[in-house]
Structure 1
C-alpha cells in the first residue's frame, strides 16, 4: 500500500510539531508542462471579457424622423441619420461581443491541478501549518508568524485557508505580497503565480475532499 509523502506540520512559531502523510496522487505527480499549459490557456480564455462591440442601425441614438424632405433639396433621399451610409450611423456587419466558453474535462483539470501542487511540493515551496486562527485580527502578529515560518522563497506568498477564517484573513491581508484564498476558490493560476504557498491543516483536509481522496482510500 502506498504510504504517501511524509511532511512536517509547523506551528505559528515555525516549529515542526508533527508529521503527516500526503497522498501521492495529489502531491506526487510527475510534471507535465504541456497539460499545464493547455489548462492554463483554457482558464485564461474563459476569463477574458468580450470587448469588441459596434452599434447597428437600430441601436444608434436619434434619427427618428427624416433629416430633410424627400424632394426639392437636390440631395439624395434619406430616411434616417442612423443609416449606415451616413456619418455617425449604424455599422453593417460590425464586430459584436461573443462569449466563447472553452471547456476542459474534469479529470483533465484535476490532473493539471495535482501536477501544479506536486511541482510546488517537489520544489519545497509548499508549507503546512496547524492553525492560523486569531482571537482578534492582528497584522503585526501575522507578520511575525511569516518571519518564523521556514519558507524557502519569500516573494509572492499564497495563503490558503478553510471556510470563513475572518480573523486570519484580516490579519494577513494588509501584508505586502500576500494573497489570501479560500480552498474552495483556489485555482491553478493562483498556485503557479505564487513563489510559496501556505496551507492550514483544515484547508488540506478540504483539498483531499476536492480530489475525493477519502472516498478512494476507503474503497
Structure 2
C-alpha cells in the first residue's frame, strides 16, 4: 500500500510503499492480547515476600499458661491471628514469565502495525535524522505533522539516533523506540506512531519475512 511521506515542516514530499504482509493484515486480536499479557507478566520482578510464623521475630515462649486464666489458649504471639504475627498464604518469590511461540509473537507485532495503519495513526517522516537535538525542535515538528492533537506519540527510528532521543527526552507522552524493539504494549499505548523513513525498511526487514 502507498502512504504519504512528510517532511519536518509537515508538507507531503512523496509516497512510500508499506508491505501488506506487515501493515495490511487482518489484526489478530486474541494473539495481540496474549502477547500483551506475556509482556506485562515478564516485566514483573516477582521479588515480593511475606514472612510466615516461623520467620517473624519473637514468639518462642507461650504467652500464658494453658489453663486457669479464663482466656483462650495460646501457644505463640506470632501466630497469624496476632498483630505482628506471620502471614498465611502470603506471596513469596516466584517467576511470572510466560512463553509464546515466535511465530505468534511476530504475528502480534504485525497485527499491531496493521491496526495502527487501519486507524490512520501511522505517519512516515523524512529528514528526522537531521533534527536539532533540542526539545523545542521536536515539539515544533510534532505539532506540524498529521494527528497533532494525538494524546501520545511514539517515534520509531531505524538505529540509535542520539539527536532524536535528546530532542524528545523531555516531552511528556512522547517515546523514541528502535524498530527492533517494537512491542505490543508500546504499539497499543501510544496513539500516534511516527516512522522515520529509514525505519520503514528496517521494519520490513525484521517483520516481513516470508513464511514467518
Q: Given the two structures, how large is their TM-score scaled by the length of structure 2? A: 0.78
| Residue equivalent to 1:16 | 12
Q: Measure, in 1, the Cα distance between the counterparts of 2:159 and 2:22.
A: 21
Specify the SS of the correspondent of 2:15: strand
Structure 1 alignment gaps of length 5 or more: 68-77
Specify the SS of the correspondent of 1:154: coil
The offset of 1:105, in angstroms, is 0.6
Q: CA RMSD in A?
A: 3.4
Note the alpha carbon deviations across 1:180-214, whole angstroms, 9 max, x for none.
Answer: 2222222111111111100112222221222253x
| Residue equivalent to 2:68 | none
Whether the 8 Å contact between 1:159 and 1:178 is mirrored in structure 2 is: yes
Higher relative CO (Cα under 8 Å, sequence separation at least 6) belongs to 2
Q: Measure, in 2, the Cα distance between the counterparts of 1:142 and 1:172.
A: 6
The offset of 1:92, in angstroms, is 7.9
Q: Measure, in 1, the Cα distance between the counterparts of 2:186 and 2:89.
A: 39
Whether 1:42 and 2:64 are equivalent positions in the alignment is: no
Whether the 8 Å contact between 1:14 and 1:145 is mirrored in structure 2 is: yes
Whether the 8 Å contact between 2:155 and 2:193 is mirrored in structure 1 is: yes
Whether the 8 Å contact between 1:153 and 1:196 is mirrored in structure 2 is: no
| Residue equivalent to 1:190 | 186
Note the alpha carbon deviations across 1:164-183, whole angstroms, 9 max, x for none.
Answer: 21111111222232122222
Whether the 8 Å contact between 2:18 and 2:200 is mirrored in structure 1 is: no
Alignment of 1:15-164 (within 5 A): 15-55=11-51, 95-134=91-130, 136-151=132-147, 153-164=149-160
The offset of 1:112, in angstroms, is 1.3
The offset of 1:163, in angstroms, is 2.0
The offset of 1:99, in angstroms, is 0.5
Whether the 8 Å contact between 2:51 and 2:86 is mirrored in structure 1 is: yes
Whether the 8 Å contact between 1:125 and 1:152 is mirrored in structure 2 is: no
Cα distance change on mapping 1:185 and 1:59 into 2, 3 Å:
farther
Specify the SS of the correspondent of 2:129: coil
Structure 2 alignment gaps of length 5 or more: 63-74
Note the alpha carbon deviations across 1:111-165, whole angstroms, 9 max, x for none.
Answer: 1111111011011100111231247412222222112212275211111122221
Note the alpha carbon deviations across 1:7-59, whole angstroms, 9 max, x for none.
Answer: 12211111222222111110011122222222222222222332541235786
Specify the SS of the correspondent of 1:155: coil
Range 132-141 or range 108-117, more displaced: 132-141
